[in-house]
A and B are shown apart, each in its own frame.
Chain A
Amino acid sequence: MAENGIGASVRRKEDNRFLIGKGNYTDDISVVGQTHAVFVRSPHAHATLNRIDTSAALAAPGVVAVFTGDDLVADGIGPLICGVTVTSDDGQPHRAPRHPALAQGKVNYVGDHVAVVIAETLAQAKDAAELVVVDYGVLPAVTNTADASQPGQPQIHNEAPNNVCFNWPFGEKAAVEAAFASAHKVSTLELVNNRMVTNAMEPRAALGEYNSGTQEITLHLTTQNPHVHRLVMSAFNNLAPEHKLRVVGPDVGGGFGVKIFVYAEELVVGWACRKVQRPVKWTADRTEAFLSDAHGRDHVATAEVAMDAEGHFLALRVMTQANLGAYLSTFGTMVPSYLYAFLLAGQYRTPLIYSEVKAVFTNTAPVDACRGAGRPEATYLLERLVDIAAADMGLDPAEIRRRNYIPKDAFPYQTPVVQCYDSGDYVAALDKALALADYAGFPARAAEAKARGKRRGIGLSSYVEACGIAPSAAVGQLGGGVGLWESAQVRFNPTGNVQVFTGTHSHGQGHETTFAQLVTELLGVPIDSIEVIHGDTARTQFGMGTYGSRSLAVGGVAIAKACEKLIAKGKKIAAHALEAAESDIEFAAGNFTVTGTDKAMSIAAVAFNAYVPHSYPEGLEPGFDENAFFDPMNFSFPAGTHICEVEVDPDTGEVDIVRYSAVDDFGKLINPMIVEGQVHGGIVHGIGQALLEGCRYDSEGQLLTASYMDYAMPRADNVPSFDVDYAPTNPPHNPLGVKGCGEAGAIGAPPAVINAIVNALGIRHLDMPATPEKVWRAAQQAA
């Protein structure tokens, strides 16, 4: 292993700037002559937009411009698009109502964009926004997932009768029904997967600049995928040709999915800076973020499992209603379909699975990917159902899982729901987790807690995550409008240091360190001489960005491939310089060596030769700079078992997580310190969903949880420290042997926590979030 290479917990290269206050987030950037944008938002969940009077706002001090939807339409801008097609049961594509960046004729959720006010100062823009007079014709609203498609509900879009976006059946219905008919036992569960607000700590922001000399727009955005933003805004929103649009995602303060999507504010800022010929800046305040960021989850589902007399799963049937909000966000359709139903096998051999997903529109903010995206919903449903099945069969939760796991010698394993898992050893992870959690010692701890008037519970969750979505051909077959390869460029400078350009984007994941470790391992260049560059369409060659735990599993491999190309070229250069045959040149630890001799040349010297090719192989291009693209053959399938132990106070309903153990299979770890940090963060995201977080609209569509006063984020005193370990297997399709790790905790944690609470109280089910009130009521009923 190279020093600071693969497997080393190297301190992060990016930390210094963040620790001294020199991070460079979008709102930190100010440019000469910049104006400030404030959006006028609908206070109503559902209303006709009869008239917008902007005259008083236009006359207010400092106001530069006020624009409405008509102005965008006049310039041919928009509408916003959804990039993934799901075919409904009538054979038609999902219903895709027009999604204007500034509303036209109608508003469909509280926070919907009505107008934008641009002024010299933020205060002036805010003051003037108050002066925009909007005549709304208020309509009844529908916000509830389960009710939205019922007869008699308000209709949101003419294109979507009964507010149904799609009804998507998947699987062998008749075979599943036959299996249920002959089953020894059927266990059933109805559940709600609570709506989340993603809440990256940096609110969304945009800064648009237009250069009238070059006709180029530069947009600094809080984005996880600058090239995707550029592509969508150019190809579909008509903002500017791709080569005249530069999108920069500078330092981005957390993503978790919410900064993947192309939002109205971003498009409007990009357009308005050209319109007013001045830089325009917009930064969401937190309430705006709650109102207008894409939300996550929000399912209502019924799940049933059919079992034989030994508790083997024979068939699974899942009926789901998924809330997509008022409009389709960029990947809104994909989350409750392909990223959900295709994960319903979990870690189990269940041979038959049937799923129906009805996706509905409601008068709420659009719903899209939130850390895990579909996979937490699938895992929560499955892992809760497995615990109920265990109870119904009188089996220990660990035992019923063990009986049904896909065995380690069965990989590659074709599930009945499209996915073909490449690798895994679920028993190994379970056994390690049981030991880590001292599962055997739990009864004694529970008895001791009981003596103190507390109730202890323990809960397991075995998850599979499908991430690093690929290959591109499969994405296309599923109705996705993009390819999901990744690209890299590795460039030596003549003085021997290295710049690595990646198409992924880091917003907390530590790519600047992990990717540098990869390069130091492969090329032998000291890590301090390697700089990883990302997040700017003008600097990086291309890329699909960071989401779905893809950066290392896809983007890292692209970097490795570019390094291989450099080594291949370097051998030619070294062979010439060392007067040897190319086939006699070996490369190791940063040096090209003639086999069996001490004749050697460092890669830095080779790079210098390539840029100063005075004595150089005939016909070889100068330069030491290689591009590579990587399109994986399959998804990556991290998996693991998490075990949560809680202590419940039946008098207050308070839940104390007293122990949490996670054993994950992420394949090979490049930087264990960073990976463990990803696990911690994911678990707390999941604990937040399980115990605290719940986005609530009232029946009129007012968002009740629109600030941190009302939406409970997990805080340091809500969670414990964690016991983390690994049970790695090697993914055969991944040249680096790595799997994704960023979402695992958010997927594994919610069912582990709820299973523990249910176990503590001796009840059948409790919907998330398990607030003290809910837990107290359940404890009283159980007692």
Chain B
Amino acid sequence: MPTVKMQVNGKSVSGEVESRTLLVQFLRENLHLTGTHIGCDTSQCGACVVHVDGKSVKSCTMLAVMADGCAVTTIEGLASGAQLHPMQQAFMDNHGLQCGFCTPGMVMTALDIVNRNGNNLDEATIRKELEGNICRCTGYHNIVKSVQAGAKAMEG
């Protein structure tokens, strides 16, 4: 079995995986980073979004071996101790989550939206950018507000 090595949330990790092992499986099963979720089989729902070398990736769409040598950030890597990342805090303040299952993917996608579009996001941009993340609970209203507020807060 191939061995993969990568940086995950700033820590060097390695593991033996089958070549068919998906990145999301490696994160969840080998590293026990279960904050990254699996909501579908077709790369549609976005519950598994992580950052690979600073860009958002649906980790169900990438083999673990493809991330060999990469820097991966998951939802577990955002907060500084007990201090939530401003985007996490914005989701809490704006009730941008209910059951929490899509939330890690939403937050990771939100950060990518900010990275690519800046800190002043209008509603239309946010809604278009979120089309790859499905939420059944919130009706998106408060997620949109959260992303907007989080983006602002990140400006610092």
Contacts and interface: CB of A to CB of B under 8 A. Distances in A.
B144 interface: yes
Given A252-B99, A715-B134, A717-B128, 15 more contacts: A19-B91, A21-B75, A201-B134, A202-B99, A251-B99, A254-B98, A254-B101, A676-B95, A677-B98, A677-B141, A680-B141, A680-B142, A684-B138, A713-B136, A716-B140
Q: Is the interface of B mostly helix, strand, loop or mixed?
A: loop
Interface in B125-150: 126-128, 130-131, 133-144
Given A21-B74, A287-B41, A721 B141 contact: yes
Interface string A673-694: 1101101111111000000000
B137 A508 contact: yes
Nearest to A253: B101
Given A201-B47, A716-B127, A708 B40 contact: yes
Interface residues on A, range: 35 or more
Contacts of B45: 201, 286, 708
Contacts of B130: 715-717
Interface string B10-48: 000000001010000000110011111111111011010
Interface of A: 11-12, 14-23, 25, 27-28, 30, 123, 199-203, 251-256, 285-287, 507-510, 673-674, 676-677, 679-685, 707-709, 713-717, 719, 721-722, 745
B93 interface: yes
Contacts of A713: 134, 136
A123 B34 contact: no
A391 B127 CA distance: 36
Interface string B102-145: 11100100000000000000010011101101111111111110
A722 B139 contact: yes
B52 interface: no
A733 B102 CA distance: 37
A707 B42 CA distance: 7
A201 B102 CA distance: 7
B97 interface: yes
B139 A719 contact: yes
Contacts of A717: 127-128, 130-131
Nearest to B105: A201
A21 B40 contact: no
Contact of A20 (B18, B42, B79): B79
Contacts of A716: 126-128, 130-131, 133, 135, 140, 143-144
A239 to B, nearest CB: 27
Contacts of A676: 95
Interface of B: 18, 20, 28-29, 32-42, 44-45, 47, 74-76, 78-79, 84, 88, 91-93, 95, 97-104, 107, 123, 126-128, 130-131, 133-144
B95 A19 contact: no
A203 B38 CA distance: 8
A719 B141 CA distance: 9
Nearest to A28: B34
B99 A508 contact: yes
Nearest to B84: A19
Nearest to A688: B136
A506 to B, nearest CB: 9
Contact of A200 (B79, B99, B133): B99
B95 A673 contact: yes
Nearest to A21: B35
A334 B139 CA distance: 28
Contacts, number: 180
Contacts of B35: 20-23
A522 to B, nearest CB: 24
25 contacts: A19-B75, A19-B84, A19-B91, A19-B103, A19-B107, A23-B34, A23-B103, A28-B34, A123-B20, A200-B136, A201-B102, A202-B39, A203-B38, A254-B99, A254-B101, A256-B136, A508-B98, A681-B138, A683-B139, A684-B138, A708-B44, A708-B45, A713-B134, A716-B126, A717-B130
B113 to A, nearest CB: 11
Contacts of B47: 201
Contacts of B38: 27, 203
A715 B131 contact: yes
A279 to B, nearest CB: 15
A251 B97 CA distance: 13
B135 A201 contact: yes
Task: With a 10 A CB-CB cut-off, give which of A14, A674, A721 has the most chain B CB atoms.
Answer: A721
B92 A12 contact: yes
Contacts of A22: 35, 76
Contact of A709 (B29, B39, B44, B79): B44
Contact of B140 (A17, A28, A684): A684
What are the 6 closest A-B residue pairs judged by CB atoms, nearest first? A21-B35, A18-B100, A253-B101, A508-B99, A680-B139, A708-B44
A11 B88 CA distance: 13
A232 to B, nearest CB: 23
Contact of A203 (B39, B98, B141): B39
A674 to B, nearest CB: 7
A20 B78 contact: yes
B143 A253 contact: no
Contacts of B74: 21
Contacts of A745: 139
Contacts of B141: 677, 680, 721-722
Task: With a 10 A CB-CB cut-off, give which of B18, B93, B100 has the most chain A CB atoms.
Answer: B100
B144 to A, nearest CB: 7
A18 B101 CA distance: 8
Task: With a 10 A CB-CB cut-off, give which of B74, B138, B144 has the most chain A CB atoms.
Answer: B138
Nearest to A286: B40
B99 A20 contact: no
A12 B138 CA distance: 14
B93 A254 contact: no
Contacts of B34: 21, 23, 25, 27-28
A711 to B, nearest CB: 10
A20 B88 contact: yes
A11 B91 CA distance: 10
A578 B33 CA distance: 54
A30 B30 CA distance: 11
A507 B142 CA distance: 18
A253 B36 CA distance: 13
Contacts of A707: 40-42, 44
B70 to A, nearest CB: 19
A18 B95 contact: no
Contacts of B103: 18-19, 23
Contacts of B97: 15, 18-19
Nearest to A17: B100
Nearest to B35: A21
Contacts of B92: 11-12, 15-16, 19
A247 to B, nearest CB: 19
Contacts of B107: 19
Task: With a 10 A CB-CB cut-off, give which of A21, A200, A677, A679 has the most chain B CB atoms.
Answer: A21
Given A20-B79, A253-B101, A509-B98, A11 B41 contact: no
Given A21-B33, A22-B35, A200-B136, A507 B99 contact: yes
B42 A708 contact: yes
A679 to B, nearest CB: 8
A254 B45 CA distance: 14
Nearest to B92: A15
Given A510-B98, A716-B144, A20 B75 contact: yes
A677 B98 CA distance: 8
Contacts of B100: 14-15, 17-19, 23, 251, 253, 508
